[in-house]
Amino acid sequence: MEHYEPHRLNPAEAAATWRSPRGVRTAMTRRSLLRASAGGALAVGGLGALSACGIPAAAKNQGGVSADDHSATEKIVNFSNWPEYIDVDQSGKRHPTLDTFAKRTGIQVTYTEDINDNDEFFGKIQPELAAGHDTGRDLIVLTDWLAARMIRLGYVQKLDASNLPHAFANLSDQFRAPDWDPGRAYSYPWQGISTVIAYNKKALGGIEVKSVSDLLDNPGLKGRVGFLTEMRDTIGMTMLDMGKDPAKFTDDDYDAVIARLQKAVDKGQIRRFTGNDYTSDLTKGDFAACLAWGGDIVQLQADSPDVGYVIPDSGYMTSTDNLLIPNRARHKANAERLIDYFYEPEPAAELAAYINYVSPVAGVAPYLAKIDASAAKNPLIIPDKAMQAKGHAFRALTQQEETAYQQKFSKLTGA
């Protein structure tokens, strides 16, 4: 097991990893904020599915520590998630999918919205994991870069394929093979996140925006452009624009991207780097164009007809929030059943209809169409094959790279 030395976050690192109730996952809270800013929503394959779906075998040099599994006698799952990151039905009833799961299986879900920030949550559970103790949680949701760290440190358990037939069968091809968890041996996506270019049609005043180069170089947009405080999104989108691969870049490639962005900062092209608060700048027209998260754009467009988006020809960045089972979890099999349940198309559609981020479940569109026909046709929620082909993930970083790259990004953003 790799030894991890926690370090104090500088302001830019904190900003880059922040996912608060104002952040990208908080659907109900986010919707309220967006309305205000705008001036005013299979076959079961068992073990055989692992090879049938082309998922490679899990690596054998890692693996968390299991506990005695009490799933058979204790019919519960302790599930920690981000605020407002699950379905609410039209009557306002919270997470009806969990109620359906409980009725079907007899397993009660203790659902806690206690993850507001990746590093903050890691700091909360890391001492218990390092000491080999149960965290009191059977299932957690973490963003891909932190999920990679948890796997690297041996803090999460390898999943049992026999308990995940729907997950193996229905996982979208787009998310099957992250470099940090080949074959999804330890994790499954909860939702996908797309980073695109958003614009305010009125604020553009006829200027055409198709690429990151347009944001960085068009003098007509000077002082009216926004980039994100999330390092992987801003660096990744600019890297793609420069013809570099975010999955295979070098230190020199990274430095070249920093230099290009610094040039735009120095000449006043970039107004500021933002978290989720770009939504207000965009709807008011303070930003003519900016980098943005797809789920926010879906919801903004409901109230702001001037808001649009574009997928650059160079591609766009994708990331995932992921379901993992921590070491010593008491109810591993029950947690795996819950993961598998959310890979059935009906509950997956209920999530997608409410959250509006990318569903990781293939074949969900017809079920989503019964709930919301427009959502089922929206490529920001259900990407078609052409859009999926343009998606790129940021490669996993070592601890040393993460520190060095974030320091350079902090200097760029002025944090």
**What ranges do the domains of the chain cover?**
76-186+325-343, 193-318+398-413
Q: What is the largest CA-CA distance in the chain?
A: 66
Tokens 């880059």 locate to 16
The pLDDT assigned to 10 comes to 39
Q: Which pLDDT does position 283 carry in this prediction? A: 96
> What angle, 0 to 180 degrees and rounded to 10, lies between the N-to-C axes of helices 345-355 and 96-105?
160
Q: What is the DSSP letter of 162?
A: G
* Helix extents (H) in 116-173: 118-130, 144-152, 165-170
Distances (CA, A) of 186 to 47, 57, 131, 148, 176: 15, 11, 20, 10, 12
How big is the chain, counted in residues?
415
Give residue 276's pLDDT. Answer: 82
Whole-number pLDDT of residue 248: 96
Ranges in the chain, pLDDT < 50: 1-61
- Is 219 buried (19+), middle (13-18) or exposed (0-12) by CB count in 10 A? exposed
Q: Which residues of 88-102 are buried (b: 16+ CB within 10 A; e: fewer)?
A: beeeeeebbbbeebb
- Measured CA to CA, the distance from residue 17 to residue 97 in angstroms comes to 28
**CATH numeric code, 76-186+325-343:** 3.40.190.10
Beta-strand ranges (E) seen in 25-86 are: 76-80
Cα three-residue angle 61-129-142, rounded to 5 degrees: 80
- Whether the CA torsion 175, 180, 183, 188 is positive or negative: it is negative
So what's the pLDDT on residue 90? 72
Comparing C-alpha atoms, which of 82, 144, 68 is closest to residue 115? 82
Pairing outcome for strands 270-274 and 225-228: parallel
Residue 61's pLDDT is what?
41
CATH classification (class only), 193-318+398-413: alpha beta
Q: What local confidence, expressed as pLDDT, does residue 89 receive?
A: 75
Q: 171 forms bridges with which residues in the sheet?
A: 361
Residue-by-residue DSSP string for 181-245:
SGGGSS-EEEEEEEEEEEEEHHHHTT----SHHHHHH-GGGTT-EEEES-HHHHHHHHHHHTT--
Predicted structure pTM score: 0.81
Which pLDDT belongs to residue 92? 75
The 10 Å Cβ neighbour count of residue 63 is: 17
